[in-house]
């Protein structure tokens, strides 16, 4: 309201749709990079202050002279500031001009019913290759007689586009399609047209390594729920990280900033203080990138991941890179980890690295870690430390609680290091080192 009044008083023009999108997706884009880092450092300080206060409420004397529960290092900058994303998700909806087949990113909210889909050509954290594929996809669906699927119950078919790229020059496009009432013959026709467009038509400029198609009647579907169908090219794309080569499936997790990930993993390796007899427990391991990049420092790596295809990738990655001291387990961490640790009798030092989604770790995972006395050192990598991860931090550090079956000695936060994996946004990846 204040900005609106200021514009009315000063006759300032309303921001363009491009500016509105940039402000929504990359809110720090106008700030010089060193100022972005200052903003993020202050936000991470406030998160640690909150953690310190919450620990005090639990009766834990955690605050140091600076008011924080542990030292906070300066934000580690991203090696690449613009176009760093290796994965982008584009929506299909009505654009500012009313075109219902606009491919871009959302401005507005569903609750306010003011969503507009704006092309992302000017957004600084998205690489030009992703923008090119999005533009070609829009051209294709605009030629198609089938409608876009804006609301499932209103019909339509063409839905979101995911683009993944690697530093090896590979590009994967994944197109989500609502089948509605179409039969198999009609679906086959649409898949053939899509393949033809990207292999023989205008879409050839994208030089896709892989083109996938997913028939989905839900907002998000795993491969098990709705298989990814390869229409063209290779089933996987490949990325190089710290001298290793990694295979990536359509729905496998991979850190979105590859150059920043190398810096992050190098420091994670240093913080682990791993020795030749250390066992590294890699929880939420994705395609195995953390464990495999540190395998040469430890005697054994044990990875746990819920996405089955990612575990297949992890096993392939280990074999391809000649790494034989890793084992990977597919399944929910809350089901797999307690079984792994309940009977743990290995005398070797055990270090845990957890890298969960924004939802944080399931309580049973935290409990299994707490109750395994062999784990003396824990690295928690969080992309949203102010969210559900805060609950995990408190569960790790609280006094033993028989009611919650937390018998193990509590952890203590020792060091916090923020990494700027997401330039131009408020987001930061925080690495918290715990020990006991």
Q: What is the 3-state secondary structure (H, E, C) of 85-141?
A: ECEEEEEEECCCCCCCCEEEEEECCCCCCCCEEECCCCCCCCCHHHHHHHHHHHHHH
Higher pLDDT: 135 or 221? It is 135
DSSP 406: B
C-beta separation of 67 from 55 below 8 A? no
Q: Which of 66, 104, 50, 119 is nearest to 393 (CA)?
A: 50
Mean pLDDT in residue range 59-68? 76
For residue 2, pLDDT beyond 70: no
Q: Which of 271, 274, 278, 275 is nearest to 347 (CA)?
A: 278
Whole-number Å distance between alpha carbons of 157 and 302:
42
Domain with CATH 3.40.50.150 in the chain: 257-435
Pick the CATH number of 87-240 from 3.20.20.140, 3.40.50.800, 1.10.10.10, 2.40.50.1070: 2.40.50.1070
**255 appears as a binding residue in the annotation:** yes
Q: What is the pTM of this model?
A: 0.88
Whole-number Å distance between alpha carbons of 351 and 349:
7
**327 appears as a binding residue in the annotation:** no
- Of 76-80, 179-183, 277-281, 402-406, the poorest mean pLDDT is in 402-406
CA angle 268-273-279, nearest 5°? Answer: 90
Measured over the CA atoms of residue 73, residue 409, residue 397 and residue 399, the dihedral's sign is: negative
pLDDT tens digits, 298-309: 999 999 998 888
C-beta separation of 314 from 286 below 8 A? yes
- Under the banding of pLDDT at 50, 70 and 90, the label for residue 9 is low
pLDDT of residue 190: 96
pLDDT tens digits, 156-185: 999 999 999 999 999 999 999 999 999 999
pLDDT of residue 358: 85
Whole-number Å distance between alpha carbons of 296 and 300:
9
Mean pLDDT, the chain, rounded, equals 91
Whole-number Å distance between alpha carbons of 37 and 428:
10
Name the fold adopted by 257-435: Rossmann fold (3.40.50)
pLDDT tens digits, 228-278: 999 999 999 999 999 999 998 898 888 899 999 999 999 999 999 988 889
Give the percent of the chain with pLDDT over 70: 95
pLDDT of residue 11: 61
pLDDT of residue 112: 59
- Under the banding of pLDDT at 50, 70 and 90, the label for residue 390 is very high
Of 372, 383, 397, 398, catalytic: 383
pLDDT of residue 58: 86
User: How remote is the C-alpha of 151 from its chain's centroid?
Assistant: 26
Element (H, E) at 66: none
pLDDT tens digits, 416-428: 999 999 999 999 9
pLDDT of residue 347: 82
Mean pLDDT in residue range 281-292? 92
Domain with CATH 2.40.50.1070 in the chain: 87-240
**334 appears as a binding residue in the annotation:** no
For residue 338, pLDDT beyond 90: no
Whole-number Å distance between alpha carbons of 96 and 167:
34
Whole-number Å distance between alpha carbons of 424 and 84:
11
Contacts 24+ apart (CB under 8 A), 279-282: 279/346, 279/348, 279/349, 279/350, 279/351, 280/351, 280/352, 280/353, 281/350, 281/351, 281/352, 281/353, 281/375, 282/353, 282/355
The token pair at 286 is 């994705």
**Is 383 tagged catalytic?**
yes
C-beta separation of 302 from 282 below 8 A? yes
Pairing of strands 429-435, 375-382: antiparallel
pLDDT of residue 349: 86
Residue with tokens 């205008």: 202
Mean pLDDT in residue range 380-404? 92
Whole-number Å distance between alpha carbons of 413 and 68:
10
Helix (H, G, I), strand (E, B) or coil at 344: coil
DSSP per-residue letters across 24-43:
HH-TTTTS-HHHHHHHHHHH
- Under the banding of pLDDT at 50, 70 and 90, the label for residue 7 is low
107 φ, ψ (degrees, to nearest 5)? -120, 135
Give the percent of the chain with pLDDT over 90: 71
For residue 320, pLDDT beyond 90: yes
């Amino acid at each position: 309201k204040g900005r609106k009044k200021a514009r009315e008083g000063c006759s300032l023009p309303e921001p363009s749709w491009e500016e509105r999108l940039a402000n929504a997706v990359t809110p720090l884009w106008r700030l010089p990079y060193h100022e972005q880092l200052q903003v993020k450092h202050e936000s991470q300080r406030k998160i640690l202050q909150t953690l310190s206060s919450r620990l005090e409420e639990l009766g834990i004397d955690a605050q140091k002279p600076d008011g924080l529960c542990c030292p906070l290092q300066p934000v580690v900058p991203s090696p690449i500031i613009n176009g760093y994303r290796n994965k982008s998700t584009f929506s299909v909806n009505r654009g500012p001009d009313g075109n219902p087949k606009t491919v871009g990113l959302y401005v507005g909210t569903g609750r306010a019913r003011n969503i507009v889909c704006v092309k992302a050509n000017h957004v600084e954290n998205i690489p030009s290759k992703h923008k090119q594929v999005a533009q070609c996809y829009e051209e294709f669906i605009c030629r198609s007689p089938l409608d876009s699927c804006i609301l499932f119950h209103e019909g339509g078919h063409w839905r979101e586009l995911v683009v993944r790229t690697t530093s090896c020059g590979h590009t994967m496009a994944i197109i989500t399609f609502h089948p509605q009432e179409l039969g198999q013959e009609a679906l086959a026709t649409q898949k053939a047209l899509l393949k033809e467009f990207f292999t023989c038509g205008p879409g050839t400029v994208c030089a896709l390594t892989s083109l996938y198609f997913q028939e989905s009647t839900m907002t998000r579907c795993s491969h098990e729920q709705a298989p990814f169908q390869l229409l063209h090219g290779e089933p996987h794309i490949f990325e190089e990280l710290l001298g290793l080569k990694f295979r990536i499936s359509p729905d496998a997790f991979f850190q979105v900033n590859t150059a920043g990930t190398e810096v992050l993993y190098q420091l994670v390796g240093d913080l682990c203080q791993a020795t030749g007899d250390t066992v590294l427990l890699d929880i939420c391991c994705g395609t195995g990138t953390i464990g495999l990049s540190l395998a040469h420092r430890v005697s054994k790596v044990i990875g746990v991941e819920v996405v089955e295809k990612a575990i297949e990738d992890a096993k392939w990655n280990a074999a391809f890179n000649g790494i034989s001291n890793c084992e990977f387990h597919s399944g929910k961490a809350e089901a797999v980890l307690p079984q792994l640790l309940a009977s743990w009798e290995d005398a070797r030092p055990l270090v845990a690295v957890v890298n969960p989604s924004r939802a944080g770790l399931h309580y049973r995972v935290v409990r299994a870690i707490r109750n395994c006395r062999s784990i003396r050192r824990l690295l928690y990598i969080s992309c949203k430390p102010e969210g559900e991860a805060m609950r995990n931090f408190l569960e790790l550090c609280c006094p033993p609680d028989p009611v919650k079956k937390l018998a193990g000695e509590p952890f203590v936060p020792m060091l916090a290091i923020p990494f700027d994996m997401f330039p131009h946004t408020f987001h930061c990846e925080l690495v918290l080192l715990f020990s006991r």
